[in-house]
Amino acid sequence: MTKRRERNSRAEAEAGCREHFVDAALYDYEYRHRRADIHFYLQLARNRMEFAGGTILDLACGSGRLLLPLLRDGHAVVGIDRSLPMLAAAAQRVRRLASPRRKRCMLVRADLRAFALRREATLAVSAFHSVQHLLTDEDFLGFLRCARSGLVKGGWLAFDLLPPDPAWLARDPRRRWGRTVLRHPSTGKRLVYTTNHFYDPASRLLHMRLYYQPVDEKGRPSGRERTVRLCHRQLGPDEIARLLTVAGFRVLEVFGGFDGRPLDNRPGANDEQVYVAVAV
C-alpha cells in the first residue's frame, strides 16, 4: 500500500470513530433501551467501591449514559471523552442533578490514547465497545497506559468489546440491513435507518455505514440520505490479554456477556467480551 493510500485509509477509519458521536440526541435515542451494560458496570462499581472508595474514571463517557447512573449511585466520577457534542449533552444532564451529586462529577475533553490524570482512581470503566475505536495496537496500548497511570496500584479497569463473528463479518457489503423507521428526537423528521458494512482482514477494521433517509408519512423519500461512518477494530481474547499484560495489568475475569457467563472461545458463542483487569 502506498503512503497516500495508507493516509486515506487511516483518515477513513478515523472518521468512523467520530461521525457517530456528532448528533448526541439521535445517539441517545437509538440506544435508549440498551441497559445490560449499565447494570453490569453499576454492580461492579458497587462491589469494588464498597471496599476501596475513591474515584471512578468513565473513559469515553459520551453523553453520560453510564456516568449519570454512577453519579446517582453516589460515586465520584471523572468523565473523559473527545466529542464536544457528547460532552455538552453529558454536562447538560449533570446540571439537572442535585448539588451534592453534581459536585462529585468532573468532565474532561481528552483523547483516550493521550490523557493524563493524577494517580488516584480505584476503578476505570470504558463501556459500549468504545475501545474498539482504538485502531492499532499502539492506540490500544496508549489507552491502557493512560488508564494505568490514572489508577492506584490494585485499581481495576473494566471494558467490553463486540466479539468477532465470522458469519456477521462476511455479510454482503452491497446489501442493507436492520431497516428501522424512527423520528429524529430533536427535529421530529421521519427517517428510515439502514446499515451495511465491510471488513478489512489486513487491518482488522470493520467499516460500517449507517444510512438515514428522510421519508414522508407514506414512506416516500423526502430529502437527501445522510451517511454516517462507524469503524470498529476486531480483537480476540488472546490479543487483549497480551496488551493488558504489556501495559501493566493482570486479567481478573473475562465474561461472554453482561449476565456474567464465562467466555466461550467458539466463534459466535458470546454476546460480548467483557474484561476486568487489575493494575499491578
Reported pTM: 0.94
**Parallel, antiparallel or unpaired: strands 249-255 and 273-279:** antiparallel
pLDDT of residue 147 exceeding 70, the answer is yes
Q: Give the percent of the chain with pLDDT over 90.
A: 89
Render pLDDT for 7-60 as a digit per residue (tens, 0 to 9): 678 899 999 999 999 999 999 999 999 999 999 999 999 999 877 778 999 999
Please give the pLDDT value at position 4: 64
Mean pLDDT throughout 112-128? 92
Please give the pLDDT value at position 3: 66
